[in-house]
Each structure stands twice: as C-alpha cells, then as structure tokens.
Amino acid sequence: MLAKQAWRLVQNPSSLCARVLRAKYYPDGEWWQERNRVREGDRRREAENLAYIIQKQASELIHEGLKEHVQKSSVRQRWSRPSAGFLKINTDGSFSPSTSSGGWGFVIRDELATIVQAGAGSCKYLLNAFHSELLACVQGVTEAVKWGMSRILLETDSHMVKMALETNSFALADTGGIVYELKNLISSSF
C-alpha cells in the first residue's frame, strides 16, 4: 500500500502532495538526487522503504503545517520549568546526510532550571535525523534510570519521535527496535 502511494506521487507530480513535498524537501528541484546517488554506486532504496519515508515525511509536514498555523498568532515557545518534584529531560540529535554520522545530546534539569545531568556523543552509521533523535532520547532516559530518577518529563523537538512514542506506526521502521527499546525503558522505569 505504501509503495502504491509513492507510485502515485511519481505518476502525478502536479498533485498537491507532490508539490508540497517537492517544495519542502527539494526546493532547488533536486528530484534526481536519489537517482544520481544510485548511479554513483550507492545502494538503491527498496520501494517499501522509500514509500515509508515519503509517508512519514508527508505526515510530519502536514502536522508541522498545522502546528505552524496555530502558532502564527502565538509567541514563540520557550523552555518551561518542570513542576515541583519533576525533572525534565531535553534531547536533541543531529545528522549529516553526506557522512551518515551525527550526534546526540541531552540535559536533565530540575524545577529551578539547575542542570542535574547532561551528556552528548557522536554516532557513525546513522540512517537519518530521526535515528539520531531517538538515540538522544534513549541516552537521556537511560541516564535518568541509572541515577534513580523517577519523576521525569521527556521533551524533544522531533515530531516524529513524539509520534513514535504515542503510536505504533513506527514498529516496522528501520529504527523500530530503538523505538520499542525506548518505550519499554520508559514504561518499566517511570
């Protein structure tokens, strides 16, 4: 079914969905980037994987568009302190497509905004930005468990991580095992 949706995008490049995806992810008209990578010796993506990526990017784009529409009238959100007795874990990941590497980081703060714990690291062989965002969450939550923290709030800027934790839509993704691990770590520790 996902491959069929991707095929429709390829066959109907003037559709609203195709135009939105093209404007968001290929603003300079770089539609041939995937083709050129394959031609230069990179491994071709399976149709199911490509369709999955397109579907998730479209979902995130639609969700992002709705969020931007709602936030246009509001002031930019700033970091907020957790309630008394809670700790907040803020995570972030980075990804370089040209090297398939990146990094992760987390900060754990209390209700006074005092840094209780922090960590960062680098990663090789990442699949995508989502992969690095997930690793940042896993590292932050693992550190909280290690130090016996029990009342935590997890905050990330990745809509896909939020969606992965709230639904089962990423179970069959390449990073589905990491999502499963993170969900189990959260449910068994907090």
The three-state secondary structure class of 163 is: helix
State yes or no: pLDDT of 27 exceeds 60: no
Reported as type and span, the H/E element at residue 149 is none
Mean pLDDT of the chain: 80
Report CA 177 to chain centroid distance, whole Å: 14
Clarify whether residues 59 and 104 are in a common domain: no
State residue 172's pLDDT score: 84
State residue 169's pLDDT score: 83
Residues 143 and 119: their CA atoms lie apart, in Å, by: 9
Average pLDDT over residues 147-155: 94
- Taking only the tens place, the pLDDT of each residue in 120-144 is 999 999 999 999 999 999 999 999 9
State yes or no: pLDDT of 78 exceeds 70: yes
Residue 94: CA atoms inside 13 Å, Cβ hemisphere, count?
11
- 77 falls within a domain: no
List, in order, residues 6 or more apart from 118 with CB less than 8 Å away.
105, 106, 107, 108
The DSSP-derived string for 98-134 is TTTEEEEEEEEE-TT--EEEEEEEEESS--SHHHHHH
Number of domains in the chain: 2
pTM comes to 0.61
pLDDT band at 39 (very low <50, low <70, confident <90, very high): low
Range of the domain at 149: 87-189
State residue 28's pLDDT score: 47
Clarify whether residues 62 and 130 are in a common domain: no
